[in-house]
Amino acid sequence: MAKGLETSESIQLPPELRSKLIDIENQFNVSTEKLKQITQQFEKELREGLEKEGSNIAMNVTWVLGLPSGDEIGEYVTIDLGGTNLRMCRVALRGQREEIDIKQHVYRLPPAIKTGDSRQLWNFIADSLDEFIKSHQIIANRDDRLPLGFCFSYPASQDAIDHGILKTWTKGFDIDGVEGEDAAAQLKDVLAERGLPLELVALVNDTTGAMVASAYKDPDTIIGAIFGTGCNAAYVENVGSIPKLKTTLPPDTPMAINCEYGAFDNAHRVLPRTKYDVSIDKDSPRPGEQAFEKMSAGLYLGEIFRLTALDLYESGLIFDRQGAAKLREPYKLDTGFLSGIENDPLETSQTRLEECLNIKVTLDETRVARRLAEVIAARGARLCSCGVAAICRMKGITSGHVAADGTVANKHPKFKQRWAEALGEILDWPEDREEDPIIITNAEDGSGIGAAVISAMTLYRIHGGNTVGIQG
Ligand code: BGC
């Protein structure tokens, strides 16, 4: 049983319900030994990704050559294509000791765009950029164009920093005409078509953005990680340790790697999948992909909960045959809901369940729901620690800060503690330690500040005459 969880032994329930609940708890329990086994396989897949193209974990080279000095300055525009919003920022960097000035606007992404075609997507982005530029009176000097950093948080392989071939959409996106194409080129085209005064300098993953934005102020940053709608991490490798990369850069050149480890164990060798996980994968737009993400990331936690509750309901064990039609609506319950069920006072959780499912719920049923929410969130947090543990093992990292962002990390009150505990179990930290050598920190704004700092680093590189991995 995962630490910090009371078992359902302590809840008084009818025997059949109790035994089914214990069965579900067992399926979601990930022991220390299992965590270690997962981490070992994880490390193997990370290494394979560095060795050859086309590996399961992509280990995408980002052409971000190391971490920032903190002296980067200048004005940048950034855009972030997130799951629900399109965020635009104008970022003025003035060096690490000065306040960063950000003006931002968030545009709600029309849901239809997520399953539309590429034309609709780029037109929406261009319209929003146009509006943003006008409303913030962003005027480039003379004929100059302002540098633009594009945070594109999907698996894109990069031959250059201003290039990115989308391998596959993740996180429920399914837009026609981008997979297999260069998303950066598509954005550049629409910028040119519309005559927008912007020059795409860098396509940035959110993990790399989080790492770089955090390192701008915190030199102890070792990894940027997202525990949100999706999950993934970035770290810095030496060029000489990336056998698949053919380059003129010296072997000791630092290179940020966007791992894309949401795809870990797509071959189902080691992850403890339940029938609920299998069903989520089967009904997703991309079955067989993002196996690890589908068991641990925010887009899926609420859905896993829904499926376990539906199972109990269909077995006639809870909600007394009230119909519970809402429980049949896919993706009806999100991570915020799950977190509320686990962490709010019991009566509040009861009301939340009643309101959301439109049925009567007893206190005992609320306790059952709470147990489900607990074991699902605990499993997610414990699995999330394996990816970071594997990077640290592979690189021999023994201390530092993991700059984390994302809704699960920020909004689930128990995530960080569970994650840290599991990391200690995997890495065999002594029980009586005073503090953890590797800690999770709140990442700085990766898609705004991070994309701006990376754009600055790229322009500095061009001015210094090092244009390796820059198309221009
Ligand atoms: C994407 C990654 C991203 C992660 C977190 C995954 O689905 O493939 O590129 O970093 O989500 O947003």
User: Could you tell me which residues come within 8 angstroms of residue 174 by beta carbon, excluding any fewer than 6 positions away?
Assistant: 114, 115, 285, 286
pLDDT tens readout for residues 68-79: 999 999 999 999
Q: Which domain holds residue 378?
A: 1-59+219-443
pLDDT average, residue stretch 143-165: 95
- Looking at the structure of the chain, the number of domains it has is 2
Angle, vertex CA 335, rays to CA 331 and CA 340, nearest 5: 120
* Residue 248 resides in a domain: yes
155 alpha carbon to ligand 1 midpoint, in Å? 7
- Contact 228 CB / ligand 1 (< 6 Å): yes
Burial of 97 per CB tally in 10 Å (0-12, 13-18, 19+):
exposed
290 alpha carbon to ligand 1 midpoint, in Å? 10
* Residue 10 resides in a domain: yes
pLDDT tens readout for residues 7-23: 666 778 999 999 999 99
435 alpha carbon to ligand 1 midpoint, in Å? 30
* Residue 468 resides in a domain: no
Claim to verify: residue 294 and residue 309 sit in the same structural domain: yes
Claim to verify: residue 1 and residue 101 sit in the same structural domain: no
* Residue 470 resides in a domain: no
pLDDT tens readout for residues 95-122: 988 999 999 999 999 999 999 999 999 9
- Please, what is the average pLDDT of the chain? 95
Claim to verify: residue 162 and residue 301 sit in the same structural domain: no
DSSP conformational letter for 434 = S
Is 150 within 8 Å of 451 (Cβ atoms)?
yes
* Residue 169 resides in a domain: yes
pLDDT of residue 195: 93
Claim to verify: residue 46 and residue 81 sit in the same structural domain: no
Closest by CA position to 421, among listed 44, 45, 43, 31: 31
279 alpha carbon to ligand 1 midpoint, in Å? 21
Claim to verify: residue 263 and residue 406 sit in the same structural domain: yes
What is the distance between the alpha carbons of residues 196 and 189, in angstroms, rounded to a whole number?
A: 10
What is the distance between the alpha carbons of residues 205 and 334, in angstroms, rounded to a whole number?
A: 24
99 alpha carbon to ligand 1 midpoint, in Å? 29
Q: 199 in helix, strand or coil? A: strand
153 alpha carbon to ligand 1 midpoint, in Å? 5
pLDDT of residue 97: 86
Q: For ligand 1, pick from 232, 258, 266, 447 the residue to mutate: most ligand atoms within 8 Å of CB.
A: 232
Given pLDDT bands bounded at 50, 70 and 90, which one contains residue 326? very high
User: Could you tell me which residues come within 8 angstroms of residue 310 by beta carbon, excluding any fewer than 6 positions away?
Assistant: 324, 327, 328
pLDDT average, residue stretch 35-39: 98
- Contact 289 CB / ligand 1 (< 6 Å): no
The helix (H) or strand (E) run that includes residue 403 is strand 400-405
- Contact 262 CB / ligand 1 (< 6 Å): yes
CA-proximal residue: ligand 1, atom 1 (nearest): 154
Bridge partners (DSSP) of residue 440 are 402
Q: For ligand 1, pick from 231, 296, 299 the residue to mutate: most ligand atoms within 8 Å of CB.
A: 231
* Residue 164 resides in a domain: yes
CA-proximal residue: ligand 1, atom 9 (nearest): 154
Claim to verify: residue 168 and residue 278 sit in the same structural domain: no
pLDDT of residue 143: 63
pLDDT average, residue stretch 336-356: 97
CA 256 from centroid of its chain's CA atoms: 16
pLDDT of residue 337: 97
CA dist list (Å): 441 to 214, 385, 410, 424: 9, 14, 10, 16
Which CATH number does the domain housing residue 167 bear?
Answer: 3.30.420.40
Which CATH number does the domain housing residue 48 bear?
Answer: 3.40.367.20
* Residue 457 resides in a domain: yes
Ligand 1 atom, smallest distance to 154 CA? 9
Claim to verify: residue 237 and residue 250 sit in the same structural domain: yes
Given pLDDT bands bounded at 50, 70 and 90, which one contains residue 255? very high
Q: Does 4 have pLDDT greater than 80?
A: no
CA-proximal residue: ligand 1, atom 12 (nearest): 230
pLDDT average, residue stretch 145-154: 96
- Contact 155 CB / ligand 1 (< 6 Å): yes
The three-state DSSP-derived secondary structure of 40-78 is HHHHHHHHHHHHCCCCCCCCEECCCCCCCCCCCEEEEEE
pLDDT of residue 11: 78
pLDDT of residue 146: 93
pLDDT of residue 413: 96
Is 212 within 8 Å of 450 (Cβ atoms)?
yes
CA 120 from centroid of its chain's CA atoms: 25
Q: How far apart are the first and last CA of the chain?
A: 54
- Contact 206 CB / ligand 1 (< 6 Å): yes
Ligand 1 atom, smallest distance to 293 CA? 7
pLDDT of residue 2: 44
pLDDT average, residue stretch 384-405: 98
- Contact 260 CB / ligand 1 (< 6 Å): yes
pLDDT average, residue stretch 273-301: 97
CA 167 from centroid of its chain's CA atoms: 16
Claim to verify: residue 285 and residue 330 sit in the same structural domain: yes
* Residue 2 resides in a domain: yes
Kindly tell me the sign of the dihedral angle through the C-alpha atoms of 318, 321, 324, 330: positive
Claim to verify: residue 196 and residue 167 sit in the same structural domain: yes
Claim to verify: residue 142 and residue 161 sit in the same structural domain: yes
Burial code of 43-53, b = ≥16 C-beta within 10 A, e = fewer? bebbbebbeee
What is the distance between the alpha carbons of residues 133 and 453, in angstroms, rounded to a whole number?
A: 20
pLDDT of residue 9: 63
DSSP conformational letter for 448 = I
DSSP conformational letter for 99 = P
This prediction has a pTM of 0.96
Ligand 1 atom, smallest distance to 206 CA? 10
179 alpha carbon to ligand 1 midpoint, in Å? 15
Bridge partners (DSSP) of residue 198 are 146
pLDDT average, residue stretch 91-95: 96
Percentage of residues of the chain with pLDDT beyond 70 = 97
DSSP conformational letter for 176 = B
User: Could you tell me which residues come within 8 angstroms of residue 51 by beta carbon, excluding any fewer than 6 positions away?
Assistant: 243, 244
CA-proximal residue: ligand 1, atom 7 (nearest): 230
Ligand 1 atom, smallest distance to 170 CA? 7
- Contact 209 CB / ligand 1 (< 6 Å): no
Claim to verify: residue 411 and residue 306 sit in the same structural domain: yes
Q: Does 202 have pLDDT greater than 50?
A: yes
CA-proximal residue: ligand 1, atom 8 (nearest): 154
Q: Does 467 have pLDDT greater than 90?
A: yes
Range name among 93-102, 130-139, 157-166 with the lowest pLDDT average:
130-139
- Contact 153 CB / ligand 1 (< 6 Å): yes
Burial of 41 per CB tally in 10 Å (0-12, 13-18, 19+):
middle
Claim to verify: residue 11 and residue 104 sit in the same structural domain: no
- Contact 407 CB / ligand 1 (< 6 Å): no
